[in-house]
Structure 1
Amino acid sequence: MLRRTFLLIVFISLGFGTYAQKPMNIGYVDMEYILENVPEYQQASTQLDQRVEDWQIEIEQKRNEIAEMKSSLENERALLTPELIEEREEEIAYQQEQATEYEQKRFGPKGDYMIQKRQLIKPIQDQVFAAVQEIAETRNFDFIFDRNAESGMLFAKNRFDLSDQVLRSINRAANRRQIETKQEELELERAEARTAEEDEELSAREQAIQNRKNEREALIEERRRKQDSIKEARQKKFEERRERILRERQEKRDSIQAARTKKDTIN
């Protein structure tokens, strides 16, 4: 990494020397940030994580089986002949070798995880590279770096961060593929004509509208809960009153019946 950092510094210094009369235009992108905000990547990443979890479960099962084989051999060793012990040990060694090969097949440097990870990232990288090239050409950037690469970039001001612009370019390309009507095409053209600052202002306005909507919905929900609470209290009071009346009526009937029974007994 130090060698790469040194070469980068030399390269940029030579650039400054060659273009001494022209200020250099440098920007950077945050690849991790971009990947986190591309829905297609997140969906595919979730699917890959599920495969990884399944592979890990299979590996753990193989390890448990081998551990059980070892434990069984130790418990039965005194009862086995040397030939049987050797045969069991060879079987355990074979199963360990198979488990190691399977783990390498899934998680080794050339394993399924690395292959599928590269396959997952490559389409997004291609979109990022195309967007970066477009931005570099339209805005005359001399250098655009990946913040997360081993470039020795220890600090960079936010105003040089082009990640959101790259995301805008990727999203626009995705939106173009989804256009079905002329109205959608016109709306996309208006959206593409907006600057990043205008997009931020529009997003802030939309967020403010959404916040007010959420506040209204919360207020309506609170009023509904209060009304439900009042209704429940009234219903409870009505049920209690009804039960009391029924109880009093039953007690009166029981009292009359008891008096009649007593009178009949005396007669």
Structure 2
Amino acid sequence: MKNFGGLLLALLLLIATTLGANAQKFGWVDSEFIMAKMPEYAKAQQELNTLSDTWQKEIEAQQKDLDKLYHNYQAEEVVLTEPMKKKRQDEILKKEQEIKAYRNKQFGYEGQLFKKRQELNKPVQDKVFEACEKVAKKKQLAVVFDKASDLTMLYTNPAHDYTEFVLEELGLGAEDRNQPGPKGAVKTVAPPKTPVDPNFESDSGTPEPVIGTKAAAKPAVRSTKKK
């Protein structure tokens, strides 16, 4: 992707140099730097972090319930009949599946966090784009590159940096050069790793993780579900 970006950048520069003197004027901006200065962007990141924390706590609560189910099963296994064991195993497997489904719904690819990030960031990105467009027209720029994009920019001449002009267009300009503000990155949610109980198998035939507990030295328990 970066190689493609470098080729695209070289191609754009080649086109600019062949279109004449008026088309040779270009510039670049740093969209990340600009958005970090925008109060609405910081507000959006704060809202995303709040949602992320809320959903993560809900997952942790569900994991505690699963842990309780498993502990009870281990403690009472020796006095349970085979039908009762099967019922308990099914309850545990169902709870595991519910937790996995909820985690994917909230934090998975194109999950709720992904969609909410797009929803909250789009107005900010549109505002930056409109400001860049206005600056490009005022300064008669044929091409404006984004230093924060996937395009590989091996060298950027400060003489072609129009970031400050965009900030001024947004009403965020300063007499001295702005310093980067906090990026407000959304927290990355990574559920804690858990040990694996070799004596308990899920319906997939692979050992399931034991939440917050060590594997007990119990006889092997296998799901009675037909393969």
Q: Which TM-score applies when normalising by structure 1?
A: 0.60
Q: Higher relative contact order at CA 8 Å, sep ≥6: structure 1 or structure 2?
A: 2
What letter matches 2:15 in structure 1?
Answer: L
Map 1:16-27 → 2, pairs under 5 A: 16-19=17-20, 21=21, 24-27=24-27
Q: SS state of the match for residue 24, structure 2?
A: coil
Deviations 1:196-240 (A, max 9, x none): 7xx516x9xxxxxxxxxxxxxxxxxxxxxxxxxxxxxxxxxxxxx
Between structures 1 and 2, the one with greater helix share: 1
What letter matches 1:119 in structure 2?
Answer: E
Q: 5+ unaligned residues in a row in structure 2: which ranges?
A: 179-227
In 1, Cα distance between equivalents of 2:108 and 2:91: 24
Distance 1:92 1:106, change over 3 A: same
Residues 66 and 92, structure 2, Cα contact 8 Å, conserved in 1:
yes
What letter matches 1:66 in structure 2?
Answer: L
Distance 1:99 1:6, change over 3 A: same
Q: 5+ unaligned residues in a row in structure 1: which ranges?
A: 173-195, 204-267
Aligned to 1:200: 175
Q: SS state of the match for residue 122, structure 1?
A: helix
Residues 23 and 142, structure 2, Cα contact 8 Å, conserved in 1:
no
Aligned to 1:130: 130
Deviations 1:3-50 (A, max 9, x none): 23223322322332333x557222222122112111122123212211
Q: SS state of the match for residue 93, structure 1?
A: helix
Q: Which 10-residue stretch deviates more, 162-171 or 22-31?
A: 22-31
Aligned to 1:6: 7
CA RMSD of aligned residues (A): 2.3
Aligned-residue offset at 1:79 = 1.5
Aligned-residue offset at 1:55 = 0.7
Identity percentage of aligned residues: 26
Structure with greater Cα Rg: 1
- Please state if 1:169 is matched with 2:144: no
Q: Which TM-score applies when normalising by structure 2?
A: 0.70
